[in-house]
A and B are shown apart, each in its own frame.
Chain A
Amino acid sequence: MADWVEACAVDDVEKEDVIRFDHGGRTFAVYRSPDDKFFATGGYCTHEKAHLADGLVMDDIIECPKHNGRFNYKTGQAKGAPVCVNLATYPVKIEAGKVMIQI
């Protein structure tokens, strides 16, 4: 059974932005969409090892800072070369102003 883990406070992430969250030797990316919803994915681009948290959020897209590969961070879907493998996504909930992700 996966655990719910506190990733950050709600205010730690600006709208249409992303931050990095490391836990248990793994890295994740926590997103806040323009319509104020939270999402979480694996922290590394599936193409090469680059932290997505250094990338750019545009609407529902996260663009990798290294090769500009794009993913839909809500579904994890890779949107074309140079990324071909989807991102893992994780359930998110908000509790008492904290962003919790199930990992």
Chain B
Amino acid sequence: MTTARKRDYSLVGESTRTAIETGLASAEWYHTDVPRKAMKELMQRSDGPAIRDTVIWLAVILGSAAGIVWFWGSWWVVPFLFVYGVLYGSSSDSRWHECGHGTAFRTRWMNDVVYHIASFMLMRNPVQWRWSHARHHTDTIIVGRDAEIAVMRPPDLVKAALAFTGILDFRYSLPTLVRQAFGTLSDDEKSYIPEMEQHKAVVVARWHVAIYVATIALAIALRSWIPLVLIGLPRLYGTWHMVATGLLQHIGLADNVTDHRLNSRTVYMNPVSRFIYWNMNYHVEHHMFPMVPYHALPRLHELIKHDLPEPNPSMWHAYREVWPVLLRQLKYEDFYLKRELPPTARPYRGEFHAVDMSAAAE
């Protein structure tokens, strides 16, 4: 009989110590072999695709904002809210992500400008989250190390469902910014933000909070909800697409392994979602080679797919596949979905993930 391990998701707790002691922290990860010449071509940066996408993104955001203001008070405002919300509350996540990696644009300042705008939209401290995401790439889904594990085990399905409304994230993000603005970083935050960077996190939190205070003041002065609907609240009503796509990145897959083929998921998506998500549906590829810009991920996928599990053909398929896994994890939190590799792939490394799942087999 297997006794389920209880996972401690704090970044300074028992699982942290275990990860460090067992060599899971900052480990060497599996990479598919790609010739240097091909990888160099894939890594090449270009301003063109991201400028094009950013112009479209901002133009539609401003256009839909104008529609919200114009049609406020009538039902015609709904489609504008829908578009504005998704672009503000969801596509900002992929812009934050790609520009944080510095891969979206070739020009550094362009990455930085869009990174800060997107961070504000997401109510994310850009300093804190740059470091948390670095940790996510070092220790992807390593319990006690990764600060960005969206669904912990055993899964809280109510919490996961509520995530689509943005309520929980809003409740976490805004108080976090306020706390940081008052100069307090949590122990977890201090564990991945270097000391020399911590004051920057406080300063930028103060700027974000100041903008929100100004927005609230404007709303009161105008006796109108519009300023809040345009700044801040899209984090609630427009976040669903970010959650729908983002949850699939790792949910139901292995934790505490050093092979992204085991803990990350590639899902084929429609072109609109791929624009909103900036191709992060190629998530195994992204984690294996984070230097490859979003616009080159489809080419990378073609190059290495012989070594990866078959992608889910749709988001619907992926959620149908993961649902029974989540239900099983409610009873046996060690259970996970181990996706089959094609015959052309190199086998999974076994040293960290020989988990006994016999207890989960009914």
Chain A interface residues (CB < 8 Å from chain B): 17, 47-49, 54-56, 58, 63, 65-68, 70, 79, 81-82, 84
Q: How far is the CB of A99 from chain B (nearest CB, A)?
A: 18
Contact A84-B196, Cβ < 8 Å, known A66-B290, A67-B134, A68-B290: yes
- CB-CB under 8 A from A56, the residues of chain B are 40, 43-45, 291
Contact A81-B138, Cβ < 8 Å, known A55-B291, A58-B45, A65-B290: no
Are the CB atoms of B138 and A66 closer together than 8 Å?
yes
- CB-CB under 8 A from A54, the residues of chain B are 39
Chain B contact residues, majority secondary structure: helix
Check if B103 is an interface residue, CB within 8 A of chain A: yes
Interface range on chain B (Cβ under 8 Å from partner): 20 to 34
- CB-CB under 8 A from A55, the residues of chain B are 291
Contact with A along B101-118 (1 / 0, CB 8 A): 111001010000000000
Q: How far is the CB of A54 from chain B (nearest CB, A)?
A: 8
- CB-CB under 8 A from B137, the residues of chain A are 66-67
Are the CB atoms of B102 and A68 closer together than 8 Å?
yes
Are the CB atoms of B196 and A68 closer together than 8 Å?
no
Contact with A along B32-50 (1 / 0, CB 8 A): 0000000110011100000
Are the CB atoms of A84 and B197 closer together than 8 Å?
yes
A-B contact pairs, 17 of them (CB 8 A): A17-B40, A56-B45, A56-B291, A63-B102, A65-B289, A66-B137, A66-B290, A68-B103, A68-B291, A70-B102, A79-B108, A81-B127, A81-B130, A81-B131, A81-B197, A84-B196, A84-B197
Are the CB atoms of B130 and A82 closer together than 8 Å?
yes
Report the number of A-B residue pairs with Cβ-Cβ less than 8 Å. 44
- Lowest 5 A-B CB distances belong to which pairs? A82-B134, A56-B43, A67-B134, A68-B102, A68-B101
Looking at the complex, which one of A49, A58, A63, A81 makes contact with B26 (CB distance below 8 Å)? A49
- CB-CB under 8 A from A48, the residues of chain B are 26, 138
For A47, the closest partner residue in chain B by CB is B134
Q: How far is the CB of A18 from chain B (nearest CB, A)?
A: 10
For A49, the closest partner residue in chain B by CB is B26
Contact A63-B40, Cβ < 8 Å, known A47-B134, A68-B101, A84-B197: no
Are the CB atoms of B194 and A84 closer together than 8 Å?
yes
- CB-CB under 8 A from B194, the residues of chain A are 84
Q: Measured between alpha carbons, how far is A16 from B39 in the docked complex, in Å?
A: 14
Q: Measured between alpha carbons, how far is A55 from B36 in the docked complex, in Å?
A: 10
For B127, the closest partner residue in chain A by CB is A81
- CB-CB under 8 A from B102, the residues of chain A are 63, 68, 70
Q: How far is the CB of A56 from chain B (nearest CB, A)?
A: 4
Contact A67-B290, Cβ < 8 Å, known A47-B134, A58-B45, A84-B197: yes
Looking at the complex, which one of A17, A68, A82 makes contact with B131 (CB distance below 8 Å)? A82
